[in-house]
């Protein structure tokens, strides 16, 4: 399995609520920059909630396809 870190960046003018779903075969080590996050083991996704206009969220320990 490939393990990596990933960053999602959003640059907007209006603050809105986002829910990001990022595929990962295992729970990540950490998620920084999120308001809240969880791991959905049944669907194998990291669920990230973040509100804002411009931000970056970094996921450490993504496990995906080789």
DSSP string, 21-41: EEE-SS--SEEES-SEEEEET
Report residue 16's pLDDT band, with 50, 70 and 90 as the boundaries: very high
Average pLDDT value over all residues in the chain: 91
Q: Decide if pLDDT at 57 tops 80.
A: yes
Q: Which pLDDT value is given to residue 4?
A: 73
- With a CB cutoff of 8 Å and minimum separation 6, the contacts of 33 are 50, 55, 56, 57, 58
Q: What region, left, alpha or beta, does residue 29 occupy, with left being phi > 0 and alpha being psi -120 to 50 degrees?
A: alpha
C-alpha atoms less than 13 angstroms from C-alpha of 58 in its C-beta half-sphere: 4
What's the pTM? 0.88
């Amino acid at each position: 399995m490939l393990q990596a870190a990933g960053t999602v960046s959003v640059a907007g003018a209006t603050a809105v609520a986002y829910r990001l779903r990022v595929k990962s075969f295992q729970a990540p080590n950490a998620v920084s920059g999120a308001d809240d996050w969880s791991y959905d083991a049944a669907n194998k996704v990291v669920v990230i909630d973040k509100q804002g206009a411009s931000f970056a969220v970094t996921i450490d320990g993504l496990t995906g396809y080789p």
